[in-house]
Chains A and B, each alone.
Chain A
């Protein structure tokens, strides 16, 4: 795709059209054009995960994902994270119960990474969680992130739902 071609994609179910450079990372389209600021800038090199969103259901680090690569695809951000029934996602409920966040800045990315993990591994082991959640948290919420993912997985199993 050329630099000035129109970019068409879906974000949280809405059709989006952008004329920005396709080389611009998806993060800045999400934050500065769509004003969905729940997705955060943390490092700009895909190292911290604060910018994690889903591209066609899979977690990607939007700060190193050229927006052109989202052409014709579906992007989900924290603002669009829901359970299939439309209420809060099982992970958001588990996060509330476990009171996971401290400063909260990394938590959108944590939740999106965890949602992608549960979609792939509905009952993840500790080592699967460790391998999938490489997001950085400076406040040290990791033990609660881990237990909340297990809690959400159990809740989904009990309810017979998919993440």
Chain B
């Protein structure tokens, strides 16, 4: 059974067996943790249910969400799930970020992976003392990543807690009224017994209910949802329209100082020497801080700090350590190409006898098709550069920062400061974009730097990276490649499929194609650059981005080699009525696939799976006068199962498509002698409004909880665009970004 199928089973099991998960979730909200949660969330008059819900005497329900809302609307969607399961009105709902404490660790998220027997993804691994090696530790996360908030926290966690709370309120009413619980219902924040016309507000029963019972096995609702499936206005938006939302970069404190920093351009190099005088001569500059691999300037304001920093000429030493290489992009690509043909290849997945299938097909007049693809290094380029504030006082550290996993960040800060966990306070602030940049492993160096700067300051200090620092000190999607080969039978059907790809220490099911090809051999080879100080990290949709680029371009090439329609060719290789086939058929209809297009315009399709969801995308594209790709239409069909908040869901798909187009068309990070060459948006062009077409999004719908939405619409973008441009120009491009490839072609 492959991983994709297991993901489906997670959803399937939930639909029929909520109680199974109820026990698990109830355990995550143990009495000890509930007490701790109560202490942390304050009002002693409120009544806590587990650690995640509180009912106040005023009839309000507060949901403590362990995810940072970076604009993906999870807080709103999770409140909808709770309101429906607990029969509350939307006006009664409040959402707060959960305190950064183990009592609020997001166990259900980890449980989502465990229930499906799915390996914890590598992007979650390898962080200070919170390594995901043991199940017992899986609870120590409060992460926003992997498109998990709604499907795991919401459906496996909060929904069960809300149902439990509802059941305990009903039981409390039954005790109070001396009536059978089965006759008692709930509506609009009240418990109701219709035959006797009795009714009581939740608030009046909450004390007894919270005290006397918290069932781990509530019956989940199977229908009658009033809020799930609708799109109430997102709770986070008003503060984003008047400038009042305070991001990490906006925090104000008494006596706050500002710091700007520049780190060694080559990862692993040390600071050798810096003459501090030119910085100290700048008005407002107070201090120059030497760090092992960087120099920071502290001033009364950030402009003075950056002027001071700009006046310095720090010298950094050569990269030291075994295997350290100041690599350039060309050398990296060369090494990967060599590795892919070496004996270091390992089998990812194999079925049938590929050698035999190839030989048989070739003997009967089959056609051999080969192609090699590459993806470029990518930067997250979040609009908010890294910005963190810290105040070191004696044996305490207080930090204000936007991170994707606050609980893990708090632990990393404690480790860097060599302080106990409880001596570190972290205020998690809204983030101006993350896309993986602020996951634990990627954040750790920045947090260490912050701690070192704060330790050297007598005042609270805000460390704001310049955009140049943000570009050159990133944790990039690595440059990678793959080689594919297939033999087509005389009727055009692939008899065999070979796929060798460069792996960046990541387990994933992304390389698996959904197409029915009997003989398949998928192999990987470790990235030879793994030990070369080339920085890398998780980038939105992670391995799915590159794997979908390889496989969906190649299947398109096979369709053309077979002289068949690319969409029809894919359909012929899918089981009729499979999720994949249904999504593609819906796309064929929604995009009017095959219609006549304007001269010079081509249509391209790609199908992607990831995070439990399926996305089929059709793009119309052409090359403009400067041979720059231009997209004129985008239609997406998404099967993520139950859609909690359709408008936010649509928005995530729109955003993923825009980001995917941006990356495919123009983005590229390159290395020269180990240093990143791009320093600002002028040499890393991200897409603008005028480049973006209207985007149509269709959902397959359904009641089942299947997949996430923060990422899965991104992977099909690059292949759909390359396939459309091939249809438009007859020129097949196999490397990214497309604009420079077409300009050179």
Contact = CB atoms under 8 A, between A and B. Distances in A.
B288 to A, nearest CB: 20
A161 interface: no
Given A43-B680, A48-B383, A139-B71, A144 B240 contact: no
Interface string B425-438: 00000111111000
Q: Which of A28, A35, A106, A137 has the most CB of B within 10 A?
A: A137
B118 interface: no
Contact of B249 (A41, A44, A88): A41
Given A32-B302, A38-B242, A134-B688, A142 B71 contact: no
Contacts of B423: none
Interface string A23-41: 0110010001001111111
A141 B383 contact: no
A88 B258 CA distance: 33
Given A138-B659, A143-B694, A146-B689, A43 B681 contact: yes
A130 B689 contact: yes
Given A28-B301, A134-B689, A139-B655, A79 B242 contact: yes
B654 A144 contact: yes
A45 interface: yes
A136 B128 CA distance: 34
A68 interface: no
B233 to A, nearest CB: 7
B244 A38 contact: yes
Interface residues of B, number: 66
B383 A137 contact: yes
A102 B467 contact: no
A101 B241 contact: yes
A44 B244 contact: no
Interface string B650-674: 0100111111001000000000000
A24 to B, nearest CB: 5
A145 to B, nearest CB: 6
A102 B71 contact: yes
A131 B689 CA distance: 9
B689 A145 contact: yes
Contacts of B306: 44
B686 interface: yes
B467 A143 contact: no
A140 B656 contact: yes
Contacts of A139: 71, 383, 433, 655, 658-659
A144 B654 CA distance: 9
A117 B217 CA distance: 57
A130 B693 CA distance: 11
A43 B385 CA distance: 8
A144 B241 contact: no
B655 A102 contact: yes
B695 interface: yes
Q: Which of A32, A36, A130 has the most CB of B within 10 A?
A: A32
Contact of B690 (A20, A92, A131): A131
Contacts of A20: 301
B690 A96 contact: no
B681 A133 contact: no
Contacts of B137: none
B35 interface: no
Contact of B246 (A37, A131, A136): A37
Interface string B294-307: 00000001111010
What are the 8 A-B residue pairs with the smallest beta carbon separation, nearest first? A38-B243, A140-B658, A105-B432, A130-B690, A104-B240, A102-B71, A140-B655, A78-B243
28 contacts: A20-B301, A24-B304, A38-B244, A39-B243, A40-B384, A41-B385, A44-B467, A44-B468, A45-B467, A78-B242, A79-B244, A96-B238, A99-B231, A102-B72, A104-B239, A111-B241, A134-B688, A134-B689, A134-B690, A136-B686, A136-B688, A138-B380, A138-B383, A140-B658, A141-B651, A142-B688, A142-B689, A143-B694
